[in-house]
Amino acid sequence: MVSITVNNDILLRSYVAEDAADLFEAINNSRQHLHPWLDWVDKTTKPEHSLQFVQQSLHQLNTQEALALGIFFNDKLIGGIGMHHWELSTKRAQVGYWISMEYEGKEIMTKSLVKFIAFLFEKIGLNKIEIHFVPANRRSAKLAERLDFKIEGVIRQSIIRNGMPEDLVITGLLKSEWKGEKLNG
């Protein structure tokens, strides 16, 4: 189990089976908000799907394939943050995140990502972290920029979103570029 304290109000921690109903509720209540950016939202149609995700995430944690954590604000599950496409040999991984609509714009995701990135560099030993997003996702673009991720390229029409091919922006941050202390201050 992984637990990262962000501040007195925000905790990042591994999901447990008991979180499945709250996870589904958070997704379901923000379905329209999340749908444009996250394909898996349409596949999460009942609480059992959230339970399957929790079980899969615990397996992936144990096998060092990925790390999925819930974002808890005052003990309420309001989003998720995770590391996937973990390449042990190159010490590189992607991060992904989502937050319930009512908590967007409150700096919760920025604060959570700062702590999560510090954890990935310092405790997991990553050398590089990537954030991928479609150009239309301006909030993710601004968040990546705020955290000093550099645009490394655009892969043209490399994903399908809402049935249409779209470009994918690849951003990266090296451990040597990380200014976590500055961002925490």
Burial class from Cβ neighbours inside 10 Å (0-12, 13-18, 19+) for residue 162 reads exposed
Q: Which residue has the tokens 């999560």?
A: 116
* pLDDT number for residue 36: 83
- Per-residue pLDDT of 63-91, as tens digits, reads 989 999 999 999 999 999 999 999 999 99
Q: Which CATH architecture has domain 3-184?
A: 3-Layer(aba) Sandwich (3.40)
- Indicate if the pLDDT at residue 185 is higher than 90: no
Over range 143-165, report the average pLDDT: 93
Contact between 22 and 75 under an 8 Å Cβ cutoff? The reply is: no
* pLDDT number for residue 35: 84
* pLDDT number for residue 41: 84
For the beta carbon of residue 105, count every other beta carbon within 10 angstroms: 10
* pLDDT number for residue 181: 57
Question: What integer best gives the mean pLDDT of the chain?
Answer: 93
Over range 13-39, report the average pLDDT: 92
Q: Is the sign of the CA dihedral 60, 93, 3, 39 positive or negative?
A: negative
* pLDDT number for residue 161: 82
* pLDDT number for residue 176: 96
Indicate the pLDDT class of residue 180, thresholds 50, 70 and 90: confident
- Indicate if the pLDDT at residue 124 is higher than 90: yes
- Indicate if the pLDDT at residue 172 is higher than 70: yes
Over range 127-152, report the average pLDDT: 96
Q: For the packed helices 47-62 and 20-29, what is the interaxial angle rounded to 10 degrees? A: 120
Which of 54, 44, 65, 73 is CA-nearest to residue 14? Answer: 54
Helices of type H across the chain: 20-29, 31-34, 47-62, 108-119, 138-146, 180-184
**Helix or strand or coil: residue 124?**
helix
Indicate the pLDDT class of residue 39, thresholds 50, 70 and 90: confident
How far apart CA 20 and CA 133 sit, in angstroms, is: 26
DSSP for 133-144 reads E-TT-HHHHHHH
Contact between 114 and 76 under an 8 Å Cβ cutoff? The reply is: no
